[in-house]
Amino acid sequence: MNMGHRRIKLEALDSLIHYSFALYLGLPIIICTGYFFLAKFGFFGVDSRINGIIIAIPALILGPPCLIVYLAQRDKLKFRFIQATVNEDSFKRLVKEISGELRWTIRSYNEKTFTIKTHPGFVNQSWGQHITMRQVNGGILLNSIFDPNKGSWFITFGSNTRNINEIRKMLLAKIETLPIAQ
């Protein structure tokens, strides 16, 4: 079974925004290492006797949280698989029906992949999500992350999981009423 990519492929700027919290935590490590590296080789015009432990302190303090945040953000890009047999036309119709019922906006469609944006609001407890639905052999791949155009959020408050569960429930209910794909 070919499931396509295991993670969402974000554009360069969207990836930068998605991983920005990890980059923010890693920035002091990069700055300190760069500064002390340049100072060690005399780029600032002074004789420098910098000890390597000074470089290691920020890395030891901020490195583990930076790595944990990076891995958590990377994990959020994984697709969830729903086993279903649906042809391409039925898949398009299903996505349009679901996004219409939930009042979401379809932003793009290409190569059996829909990108859908939710509308931020206090009532739905959302800052805006970026939902990807891809049709693959044997099923549908789903993912929901915070909309990169709205910034990066490490804590989702369950909104992405709710989106996936709601879509899964609606898809499975609607697929049962469709003719079997051939």
Domain match, 87 and 160 both: yes
Q: Which residue has the higher pLDDT, 181 or 139?
A: 139
Share of residues in the chain with pLDDT > 70 (%) = 80
- Give the pLDDT confidence score for residue 125 in this predicted structure: 56
The SS3 of residue 154 is coil
pLDDT, one tens digit per residue, over 36-95 is 778 777 777 766 666 667 777 778 888 899 999 999 888 888 998 888 888 888 888 889
Shared domain for 66 and 26, answered yes or no, is yes
Domain that holds residue 128: 80-175
Q: Is residue 167 in a domain?
A: yes
Number of domains in the chain: 2
Asked whether the CA dihedral 174, 175, 176, 178 is positive or negative, the reply is positive
Which of 75, 91, 116 lies at the terminal end of a domain, its last residue?
75
**H helices present in the chain, as ranges:** 12-18, 20-40, 52-75, 88-101, 159-175
Give the Cα separation of 47 and 40 in Å (integer): 8
Tell me which residue of 81, 181, 179 sits closest to 134, measured CA to CA: 81
| For residues 134-161, average pLDDT | 79
Query: Are residues 159 and 99 located together in one domain of the fold?
Result: yes
Query: 99-127 pLDDT, tens per residue?
Result: 888 888 888 888 788 988 887 765 555 66
**pLDDT band (50, 70, 90) for residue 3:** very low
Task: Determine the pLDDT at residue 156.
Answer: 66
In angstroms, the CA 144 to CA 146 distance is 7
Report the predicted TM-score, pTM, of the whole model to 2 decimal places: 0.74
Per-residue pLDDT, 71: 92
What's the chain's average pLDDT?
A: 80
Terminal alpha carbon distance of the chain: 16
- Find the CATH number of the domain harbouring 126: 3.30.310.80
- Is 1 a domain residue? no
Does one domain contain both 48 and 67? yes
101 is a domain residue = yes
For residues 25 and 91, membership in a common domain is answered with no
